[in-house]
Amino acid sequence: MKLHQFEALVAVVEHGGIRAAARALNVSQAAVTKSMRLLEDEAGTPLLIRRARGVALTEAGQRLLARARVITRQVALAREDLRQSGGDDSGTLRVGLTPFLNFTALGETFSWFRQRYRNVELQLIEGLMMRVLPRLRDGTLDIAAVAADVGEIEGDEFIVRRLLRAPQRIVVRAGHPVLANPDARALTELEWVLTQPIGTTSQPRLEAMFALAGVAPPRRVVVCETLAAMSILRHSDAVSVFPEPLIGHPETRGIVAIGNAPLRPCDIELLLLAQPDVPLTPAAEHFAHCLAAVCGATATPAA
């Protein structure tokens, strides 16, 4: 198997077909077709299903694609590492970011990063941990900053750099009737807006919060993205959990914390994750440095 064959496979999938892949790779359609045919011959099984509109992957193709992405990205990173170490300002950096950081530290981090790397292509992917971790594992992300319950990331799968630890609060819209008399049972009878379902392995401490208060988890839960959750909260009697540093932020206008809430969410940690066997490029290391410095300057650092 050759590198250009892996590059052809990745391009065909990401661009939706042979013709688009050829344009992206700046080669002829015949060259891409030949690369795919030779790759299938080497694999001993079909990898693509040709359709009138684009292509689809066979099961074998899906398995090989995962490795092809890692291989092609690592080769690209090796080249970028050498160039950047020599003072070149080029390459691509792919970062996964929790929405919490997009609202708080991203602007200053980006400004600081650009003072050193003005021409590195920066791809920022917003997402919660369950979305960015698979991409970090398969090499389509270089680093990821996630918000996790304390103790949620365990083992040695990733290199973990703690950015900060923050308390969480129960929040509702300003003027919500429950603010006058917060009661645990009354809160659980309301509709909740969360970024992940209660009871999943990614939310064990949220479920435990209700158990510690002696009440059952809410029956009505809307699972949505962070921006959608903010909009729903402002225009309904729903309840949610927010990191405390977000409360009072311009993006969370109209949303307030319940004082002396009978439900106590656990703290979260912001963690910067990277693959243990893949050295960061100078650009990636500098972005991580900028992000860690901004987080340390704007919040209480984790112990």
pLDDT value of residue 297: 60
136 and 216 part of one domain: no
Domain that holds residue 119: 89-166+269-298
Q: Indicate the pairing of strand 221-223 with strand 55-57.
A: unpaired
Domain stops at, among 61, 81, 101:
81
**Are the beta carbons of 196 and 202 closer than 8 angstroms?**
yes
204 and 229 part of one domain: yes
pLDDT value of residue 300: 44
pLDDT value of residue 301: 38
175 and 259 part of one domain: yes
Q: Is residue 29, in this structure, part of any structural domain at all? A: yes
Q: Is residue 303, in this structure, part of any structural domain at all? A: no
Residue 111 in tokens? 């400004």
- At 18, which CATH number? 1.10.10.10
pLDDT value of residue 299: 47
- At 106, which CATH number? 3.40.190.10
Q: For 209-227, what is each residue's pLDDT tens digit?
A: 998 899 999 999 999 988 9
Compute the mean pLDDT over every residue in the chain, rounded to the nearest whole number: 88
Q: Is residue 244, in this structure, part of any structural domain at all? A: yes
Angle between helices 282-298 and 106-116 (to 10 degrees): 140
218 and 285 part of one domain: no
191 and 235 part of one domain: yes
253 and 108 part of one domain: no
Task: Tell if the pTM clears 0.85, that is, is over it.
Answer: no
In angstroms, the CA 142 to CA 298 distance is 24
72 and 13 part of one domain: yes
96 and 219 part of one domain: no
Low-confidence ranges of the chain (pLDDT < 70): 149-155, 199-204, 297-303
158 and 179 part of one domain: no
174 and 230 part of one domain: yes
Write down the H helix ranges in 28-142: 29-43, 59-85, 99-103, 106-116, 129-137
Domain stops at, among 81, 111, 141:
81
Domains of the chain: total: 3
7 and 54 part of one domain: yes
pLDDT value of residue 201: 45
Domain stops at, among 21, 52, 81:
81
207 and 277 part of one domain: no
